[in-house]
Each structure stands twice: as structure tokens, then as C-alpha cells.
Amino acid sequence: MQQAGGGSETEVTWEDQQNINKFGRLNNRYHELEDEIRIAKEANENFEDASNELILTDEEVVRFQIGEVFAHVPKDEVEMRIEQMTETTTKHLEKLKDEKDAVVAQMADLKKVLYAKFKDSINLEED
Amino acid sequence: MATSASPQQPGGAVVAERRGIPAASFVEDVQIYLNQLGLDVNSTLAFLQERLQQYKVVEMKLLAQQRDLQAKIPDIEKCLDVVATLQAKKGTGEALLTDFEASEGIYSRARVEDIDSVCLWLGANVMLEYSCEEATSLLRKNLENAKASLEVLIADLQFLRDQVTITQVTIARVYNWDVHQRRVRQALASQDS
């Protein structure tokens, strides 16, 4: 996002400045959320792969990573743990997606307000 | 040396600086601002650009701190997980078998029996032995502190980014004002001739 000027005479009020600041903050938050959502999705995919591997294996005891070590954990417990982790991550993912939608909506509103006042003197698009 | 006045704002919290980061003054009127500074346009632009660079330096520092904290938090959570697992095993009376990395690429098996205490790495080559409960509460406290520090840091970064935006807008406005002045002067000059 840049604010470009072309020698225009539109005055910038403190309220305008605050709107621009808010847009900047929202834009940053949007990119952070995109990254976090991508990471959460990858985590869920990994859990699903692990789950599938678990079904295929015929061992009763699985080496499950806890912290930095691999503990010998019975298969049932591993299944339960993976389910729990998937559920936590999915809930987290939902929350992130909701926040992202809210941020996008707020950014659209601010764009309307700022473009209405500044028209071509301001650029709020991704470069 | 020019000083910047604190941003005035009708009915709202005004912050002159936050944890060592000076606030960028919001310019109501470019002409008045230039008179206040007592500098010509180019010097003003140079001053504002320098301010921007200083903000960027601080931003890099804060971002590095944020990355460190964001790495530390999952670490503490993993430790809590391990201690919780050990405590759970204590109840059953079985030993816990784990495979751990003895050296890079070389793993070994450990049999952990009778789990009463854990040792926590405190940093600076110091490791202390704690009971499971004490370890859990210490780790939880560290986690809370880390999360609180992260929140403060994020607020600092937001404040900083706002000041950067204000400074960028001020630079654009001073530049535009200058362009406008030149046009006006040229128009007057061509009128006279």
C-alpha cells in the first residue's frame, strides 16, 4: 500500500490520517493471518497423513514425538492424541478465517471512504 | 535543530512517544509546519526521510524480537507437554520408553522409571531439578510472561507502523505542496510577462 500524490490540493485531516493508519494496520494483519492460515492448514494435512499411516501400520506401539523425543505410545493413545490436535487446529483455523473475513470487510469499507475523498491521489492496492 | 510538536487531536489519547519511539507529529497545515521548522522544502524532506530511516531501524529490531518470542512460545508448550506426559505415566507405574537423539542422526533408547522430578534448563549453562508440579508451574509462568511480552511488542510495532505511515503521508504532502507552489509561481510569472 502506498500513498502517492500528484500535486493535488486535497487537505489531509487527522481523521483521514487515522483512517490511513488503520488501513495500514489491517493490511499488515491480513498478511499475518494469511500466513497463519497456511501454517494451520499444513498442520492439519500432516495430522491427516499421520492418521492414515497409523491405520496402515500393524505395530501396536508407535513412536510419537513429544517435545524433542519420541515416546513409545500405544496406537490407541496416538490416535486419540492426533484427533485432539486436529480438533484444536481446526478450531484455531476457523477463528483465523473469521478474523480474516472481518479484516477484509473493514479494509473494503476504508477503501470506499479514502477513495471517495482522495480519488487518484491515494493508492491502496497491493503492489 | 528542528523539534516536532506532539500530535494534537481533539478528544482522544495523544502519545508523544512510546517506549523510546518518538511519535510523528501530524501536520495540520503544510505552510505552517514549514514555518515552524524554519527549513526550506528540500531540507524538510531530508529531515522526514531521515526520521523514516530511523523508524525502519527500530522496526527491524522489534521484528527480530518478535520472531524470537514466537519461537520461544511453542518451545515452552512442548516442555509442558513432556512434563504432563511424565506425570501421567507416574500414575500407571509403567516405565516410559523414549527414543531420543544422542547425537546428530544417532538415536538411543531411554527407559524412564519412577518419575518424581525433572530438570529444567534455565539458560547460562544452568540446569535445576524440580518436582513435576513445580516444573509445570514454572513453565506455565514462563509461558504467560512470554505471551504478555509478545502482546506488548505487537502493540509497539503497531504504534511504530502508524508513525511510519504518518511520516510517509507528511512527506507526500510536503512534496505535493511544493509542486503546487511551483505551479502557482509559474502561473504568476507567465501572467506578468
Q: What is the pLDDT of residues B85-107, one digit of tens each?
A: 888 888 777 888 899 999 999 99
Residues of B in contact with A121 (CB under 8 A): 176
Stretch A23-38: mean pLDDT: 95
- Residues of chain A whose C-beta is under 8 A from some C-beta in B? 2-9, 12, 14, 17, 20-21, 24-25, 28, 63, 66-72, 121
SS3 B131: strand
How far does CA A62 lie from the centroid of its chain? 32
B88's grid cell: 501421567
Q: Do B97 and A8 touch (CB under 8 A)?
A: no
Rounded to 5°, angle at Cα B126 from B121 and B129: 60
Cell triple for B185: 509561481
Its pTM stands at 0.82
Q: Is the ipTM of this complex over 0.90?
A: no
Task: Return the SS3 of A113.
Answer: helix
Q: Which of A12, A121, A124 to mutate to test the interface with B (most CBs of B within 10 A)?
A: A12
B85 contact residues in A (CB cutoff 8 A): 66, 71
CA-closest candidate to residue B147, choices B58, B61, B75: B75
Alpha helices in B27-131 (DSSP H): 30-37, 41-92
User: How many helices (H) and strands (E) would you count in chain B?
Assistant: 3, 6
pLDDT at B13 over 80: no
Helix (H) or strand (E) holding A58, with range, is none
pLDDT of residue B55: 95
Which three cell numbers mark A23?
488501513
pLDDT digits (tens, 9 = 90+) for A82-102: 999 999 999 999 999 999 999
